[in-house]
Amino acid sequence: MALDRFIALAFVALCCVYGYAAFFTMDQLLPPILQRNPVWPSTFPKILAVLGIIVGLIVLFTPKPAANDVEVKDGTIDLSRLGDYHVGQAIGLLVLMVMYALTLRPLGFVGSTIGFLVLGAVILGERRFHILIPVAAVAAGSIWYLVQELLGIFLRPWPGFFM
């Protein structure tokens, strides 16, 4: 089985489990007054599950072209030459994402977001720190302001020992 079909099969199985949860387990806990609403909390997960199953089945059952008719396009990934790609950068970014999630509480939103943006740019090859650090600080501060002040969702901006 080709890799894309295996991923599509796993995606269909995941969407089936997600759809089962959305269709059969989410709505029992609703109070009786909310059961008369046309849109329930499970409506969007139901739509996502159905669309995911449809897309996965399309990928799974679309016929592949014959091997002699395949021409190599730019941007396609050749799994036999996986070492030629920047796998180290991708793994570094994934590790950095996990570290970002783990440092949100100890460092606060602004500190961990600035660190994530700066280190992520360094992993990707950016070396102009005189531009990188102010842009990361403005981006983190702007996002914090939008979420905290405009949406009203509390985000701890600084580490806990500052407050």
**pLDDT tens per residue across span 81-129:** 767 777 888 899 999 999 999 998 888 899 999 999 999 999 998 889 9
Confidence band, pLDDT 50/70/90 cuts, at residue 155: confident
pTM listed for this prediction: 0.56
- Domain ranges within the chain, ordered by starting residue: 3-65, 94-162
- Rounded Cα–Cα distance for residues 115 and 113 (Å): 5
Q: Could you give the CA distance from residue 49 to residue 107 in angstroms, rounded to a whole number?
A: 36
The answer to whether 39 and 62 have CB atoms below 8 angstroms apart is no
| Cα(62)–Cα(73) distance, integer angstroms | 19
